[in-house]
Amino acid sequence: GAMGGSASLIPRDLLGEYQELTFLSKQEILLAYKRFSELLPKEERENACSARVPKSQILTLPELRANPFQHRICHVFSTSENRDDSMSFEDFLDMLSVFSDSATSDIKSHYAFRIFDFDDDGTLDRKDLEQLVNCLTGQGEESRLSSAEMEQLIQNILEESDIDKDGTINLSEFQHVVSRSPDFASSFKIVL
């Protein structure tokens, strides 16, 4: 890079590829690159395109710090071989792409489903729904639901969503519910 150590930018051919593969504009990709490389130690910034950022660093982003599903988000978007939920720049871009305003609500609901599927078994069962509610209500003593309230709420969710009545919500049932809640897509976003 030039003297003065300005972060080396994304090679032009990659930039074009990232624009085609994501819902992000060129500006957004460059900003994402800047934010990503700032999460790396100084000596790794030159090679930000091939570096991985540990989950603990990803979680320092203010946009994720405030998100009750921060751990699940890292887990779902990480392609890490050793399952440490670290992120490559491409993982990071994928995450921002899905959470961007331009992503379709189909894509958003597909990823929301994966994020809410805490045990990664492809369906939302009672346990997943319980964790989902706990994430949303917060873990504080005063905000936690009693087990009766939790039971009632999960009943309601299943009555609304579980179309084939098998006691779990599958992806298409989830997408059906989401399609009826107009504010879903706008709430499911991260803007850097």
Residues 143 and 186: their CA atoms lie apart, in Å, by 25
pLDDT at 5 over 50: no
- Residue 8: pLDDT band by 50, 70, 90 thresholds? low
Is the pTM above the cut of 0.85?
yes
**CA of residue 38 relative to chain centroid, distance:** 20
pLDDT at 7 over 80: no
Take residue 19 and report the two structure tokens written for it: 């624009």
**CA of residue 110 relative to chain centroid, distance:** 11
Shared domain for 73 and 133, answered yes or no, is: no
- Residue 3: pLDDT band by 50, 70, 90 thresholds? very low
Q: Which amino acid is at 148?
A: A
Task: Please tell me the total count of domains within the chain.
Answer: 2
Sign for the pseudo-dihedral over CA of 19, 64, 161, 167: positive
Calculate what percentage of the chain has a pLDDT beyond 90: 78
Please answer whether residues 109 and 124 qualify as being in contact, where contact means their C-beta atoms are separated by less than 8 angstroms.
no
CATH number of residue 153's parent domain: 1.10.238.10
Shared domain for 84 and 57, answered yes or no, is: yes
Shared domain for 184 and 111, answered yes or no, is: yes
- Higher-pLDDT residue of 189, 175: 175
**Nearest residue to 169 via CA among 109, 113, 130:** 113
Residue 62 belongs to domain spanning: 12-99
Shared domain for 114 and 71, answered yes or no, is: no
